[in-house]
Chain A
């Protein structure tokens, strides 16, 4: 049941999710050994195609691929060449000529990795497309939560912030729902879509959301650069109304609620700096688990580049 591409969470079955989460565990155990590398993808090449700058996700994929012994090629792409007249077809033809087995794509256009995947034999991994999906982030988030709650079903996770523009909110909520987790969305009314997410409780009041009793609060990064209109009056007001202030942190600590964040954190916006030293902050664990989760995805996918060879023979 291996797939060619890893593009979103919505199309994954529960069995596939469990398989990927199970697979990440042995990869993570590998990290504590002196030799952190396995020869699984020796001779295969992984092409990094990041049209949007991202140090964290890019290096996480790079480390994951290298620990599987793959060759990593980072393509130096002008950050918007696809929008500057070069069509997807042209890009794919160029990539095809490089004979990569895996292509890791990040782009600001929702749906671009899907368009590439349809036109190449290589396995395409979505490393974040517009506001649509960030499926490896969802996988590492679920893996991280499972480490503290081995039985996830029935747990409650509150995702807070700019839901409207967030691919992390979409993918992570979608995966958590598949695992039986209850999900709440919290944010300014202008940033939490009214129609759309099904089976998710919508909050616009932080205190009401905390009374709902979440086991973990997942804070999204406030992405000022992605906002084409003014959705809230100021960053200062955002912190007062929707940030983890010192008062709210005291309540969260009292309840023993876990804190998550996809990084990088805007201190003083999503959360006050005291939260960074909280013993129930899972933020650093998320980073480490990201490598294991991405290894599991690379290991699972089956590029069709081999069948191309077969055809030639």
Chain B
């Protein structure tokens, strides 16, 4: 395949116009006015962006146990629909992914049904119970590198510390969902103006910040590497910056929804704005974006958290936490930040494609000679309407439901397989 005249995006600087020649799934040439061998399919990418495909290090595929919300086949198809060609599953399934047996089941299922690579994290403690360590060696032997009880913190610091001492020599690292349960409200909502108005006890940002600081301190003391998930507050961001400046082995992620939305968007109890950690304030939105631009955040991850419509139709307190993200992330980042000139493609490629792969010990997928093709064609002047029909996920719990945003993933190519080909808009 010869992709002609596109703007080729990379981690380094603004996109550069050029052609990309792909033969047998491998990029054989990148340059201007390339000539393809006879019979090569040509794709006109004039005015479009050709970018490395995205990678999402935080998704909930609900399999095994809650397949009515999501499963591996729908989750991975949703990923492709959003321009994402690799994901890391979180282990809060039912049963939890806390042993070699469950890891094997999940990975076998993924090999059977998924068109993109699926990685899974494993639990730190059995059943995410926070008490006994999970079967760490068995999971390691199946390739698990990330340990997390995501959805909950490990409440007892001594348990987390032992896990860090134990698993760090195995080359594994930790991912932390940060919150102090005793400080958190019954349901995810920022403590402040909106929680007062809605009459629901809120969760103060310090609940997250205290736990984050605790986990980084424990990692620093034990030599472990820790990844802080879905940071939602300005002080949280500053906490990570402070520790990075002191050389702690810490990485951190920010989610598109914490960059784009805040507590005011909840309005009259709209559960499509309910997730944990909760949306905070517009000042936090601004600080998180600064943190992303300044490299405090290593990566963007969606925390893709599907829930069925009847669950989200409940009252705000009863409805479960979380929104989907895989299908909307790239287009929404384009709509809010790239199209508005706030950030460039280089930042999105670095933070949503290259760095998450590096964190997982994988090679990034730059558009360079000799690399296996793993790329997308994105039309910045096209648009996407996130209708029910558009969505491939089993769930549609996103604030973007039925909204039209600027930007459109037109093609997803991995090796010699075209995973997605949407008609030009």
Q: How far is the CA of A129 from the CA of B191 in the complex (A)?
A: 19
Is A304 an interface residue, CB under 8 A from the partner?
no
- The count of residues in chain B whose C-beta lies closer than 8 Å to any C-beta of chain A is 20
Which of these binds chain B: A13-21, A81-89, A209-217, A249-257?
A81-89
Q: How far is the CA of A83 from the CA of B317 in the complex (A)?
A: 10
Digitize B296-332: 1 where CB-to-A-CB distance is under 8 Å, 0 elsewhere. 0000000000000011011111100000000000000
Is B201 an interface residue, CB under 8 A from the partner?
yes
Is B68 an interface residue, CB under 8 A from the partner?
no
- The answer to whether A131 touches B193, judged by C-beta atoms less than 8 angstroms apart, is no
- The answer to whether B200 touches A114, judged by C-beta atoms less than 8 angstroms apart, is no
Q: How far is the CA of A262 from the CA of B199 in the complex (A)?
A: 18
* Chain A residue at smallest Cβ distance from B317: A109
Contact (A131, B201) CB under 8 Å given A193-B196, A196-B195: yes
Among A127-141, those with CB < 8 Å from B are 129-133
- The answer to whether B199 touches A114, judged by C-beta atoms less than 8 angstroms apart, is no
Interchain CB contact (< 8 A) of A198 among B193, B269, B310, B311 = B193
Chain A residues with CB under 8 A of B340: none
- The answer to whether A195 touches B316, judged by C-beta atoms less than 8 angstroms apart, is no
Chain B residues with CB under 8 A of A112: 315, 317-318
Q: How far is the CA of A170 from the CA of B268 in the complex (A)?
A: 15
Q: How far is the CA of A167 from the CA of B315 in the complex (A)?
A: 17
Interface of A is mostly: loop
Among A67-90, those with CB < 8 Å from B are 82-83, 87-89
- The answer to whether A115 touches B315, judged by C-beta atoms less than 8 angstroms apart, is yes
Chain B residues with CB under 8 A of A130: 199-200, 317
Q: How far is the CA of A119 from the CA of B309 in the complex (A)?
A: 13
Chain B proximity of A75: nearest CB distance (Å): 18
Chain B residues with CB under 8 A of A119: 313
- The answer to whether A109 touches B315, judged by C-beta atoms less than 8 angstroms apart, is yes
Interchain CB contact (< 8 A) of A132 among B198, B311, B313, B314 = B198
- The answer to whether B199 touches A196, judged by C-beta atoms less than 8 angstroms apart, is no
- The answer to whether A87 touches B313, judged by C-beta atoms less than 8 angstroms apart, is yes
Contact (A110, B199) CB under 8 Å given A88-B315, A195-B191, A195-B193: yes
Chain A proximity of B149: nearest CB distance (Å): 24
- The answer to whether A196 touches B193, judged by C-beta atoms less than 8 angstroms apart, is yes
- The answer to whether B317 touches A111, judged by C-beta atoms less than 8 angstroms apart, is yes
Is A98 an interface residue, CB under 8 A from the partner?
no
* Chain A residue at smallest Cβ distance from B316: A111
Digitize B163-204: 1 where CB-to-A-CB distance is under 8 Å, 0 elsewhere. 000000000000000000000000000011101111111000
- The answer to whether B199 touches A88, judged by C-beta atoms less than 8 angstroms apart, is no
Chain A residues with CB under 8 A of B314: 82, 87-88, 115
- The answer to whether A115 touches B269, judged by C-beta atoms less than 8 angstroms apart, is yes
Digitize A171-205: 1 where CB-to-B-CB distance is under 8 Å, 0 elsewhere. 00000000000000000000001011110000000
Chain B residues with CB under 8 A of A193: 196
Chain B residues with CB under 8 A of A164: 201
- The answer to whether B318 touches A170, judged by C-beta atoms less than 8 angstroms apart, is no
Is A224 an interface residue, CB under 8 A from the partner?
no
Chain A proximity of B182: nearest CB distance (Å): 9
Among A54-110, those with CB < 8 Å from B are 82-83, 87-89, 107, 109-110
Digitize B247-273: 1 where CB-to-A-CB distance is under 8 Å, 0 elsewhere. 000000000000000000000110000
Contact (A196, B196) CB under 8 Å given A111-B269, A119-B313: yes
Is A38 an interface residue, CB under 8 A from the partner?
no
Q: How far is the CA of A193 from the CA of B193 in the complex (A)?
A: 9
Is A10 an interface residue, CB under 8 A from the partner?
yes
Chain B proximity of A32: nearest CB distance (Å): 37
Q: How far is the CA of A218 from the CA of B25 in the complex (A)?
A: 75
Chain A proximity of B180: nearest CB distance (Å): 14
Chain B proximity of A292: nearest CB distance (Å): 26
* Chain B residue at smallest Cβ distance from A167: B199
- The answer to whether B199 touches A132, judged by C-beta atoms less than 8 angstroms apart, is yes
Chain B residues with CB under 8 A of A110: 198-200, 269, 315-317
Q: How far is the CA of A119 from the CA of B269 in the complex (A)?
A: 14
Chain B residues with CB under 8 A of A109: 315-318
Q: How far is the CA of A281 from the CA of B269 in the complex (A)?
A: 37
- The answer to whether B315 touches A10, judged by C-beta atoms less than 8 angstroms apart, is no
* Chain B residue at smallest Cβ distance from A7: B268
- The answer to whether A10 touches B193, judged by C-beta atoms less than 8 angstroms apart, is no
- The answer to whether B198 touches A196, judged by C-beta atoms less than 8 angstroms apart, is no
* Chain B residue at smallest Cβ distance from A166: B199
Q: How far is the CA of A130 from the CA of B311 in the complex (A)?
A: 20
Contact (A114, B268) CB under 8 Å given A87-B313, A109-B317, A133-B199: yes
Chain A proximity of B61: nearest CB distance (Å): 24
Chain B proximity of A227: nearest CB distance (Å): 11
Chain A proximity of B405: nearest CB distance (Å): 25
Chain B proximity of A240: nearest CB distance (Å): 27
* Chain A residue at smallest Cβ distance from B204: A195
Q: How far is the CA of A167 from the CA of B197 in the complex (A)?
A: 10
Interchain CB contact (< 8 A) of A89 among B196, B197, B269, B310 = B310
Looking at A10, A82, A107, A193, which has the most chain B CB atoms within 10 Å of its CB?
A193
* Chain A residue at smallest Cβ distance from B190: A195
- The answer to whether A114 touches B196, judged by C-beta atoms less than 8 angstroms apart, is no
Chain A residues with CB under 8 A of B310: 87, 89
- The answer to whether B269 touches A114, judged by C-beta atoms less than 8 angstroms apart, is yes
Chain A proximity of B207: nearest CB distance (Å): 14
- The answer to whether A114 touches B315, judged by C-beta atoms less than 8 angstroms apart, is yes
Q: How far is the CA of A167 from the CA of B200 in the complex (A)?
A: 10
* Chain A residue at smallest Cβ distance from B194: A196
Chain A proximity of B328: nearest CB distance (Å): 23
Digitize B190-233: 1 where CB-to-A-CB distance is under 8 Å, 0 elsewhere. 01110111111100000000000000000000000000000000
Looking at B195, B197, B315, which has the most chain A CB atoms within 10 Å of its CB?
B315
Chain A residues with CB under 8 A of B195: 196
| Apart from the given pairs A112-B317, A115-B316, A131-B201, 13 other A-B contacts in the complex at a CB distance below 8 Å | A82-B315, A83-B318, A87-B313, A87-B314, A89-B313, A110-B199, A111-B198, A111-B199, A133-B199, A164-B201, A196-B192, A196-B193, A197-B196
Top 3 A-B pairs, shortest CB-CB distance: A196-B196, A132-B199, A131-B199
Q: What are 27 residue pairs bridging A and B, where the CB atoms are less than 8 Å apart in the complex?
A: A82-B314, A83-B318, A87-B310, A87-B311, A88-B318, A89-B310, A107-B315, A109-B317, A111-B198, A111-B199, A111-B268, A111-B269, A111-B315, A112-B315, A112-B318, A114-B315, A115-B315, A130-B199, A131-B201, A167-B199, A170-B196, A193-B196, A195-B192, A196-B192, A196-B193, A196-B195, A197-B196
Spell out A's residues near B (CB within 8 Å): 10-11, 82-83, 87-89, 107, 109-112, 114-115, 119, 129-133, 164, 167, 170, 193, 195-198
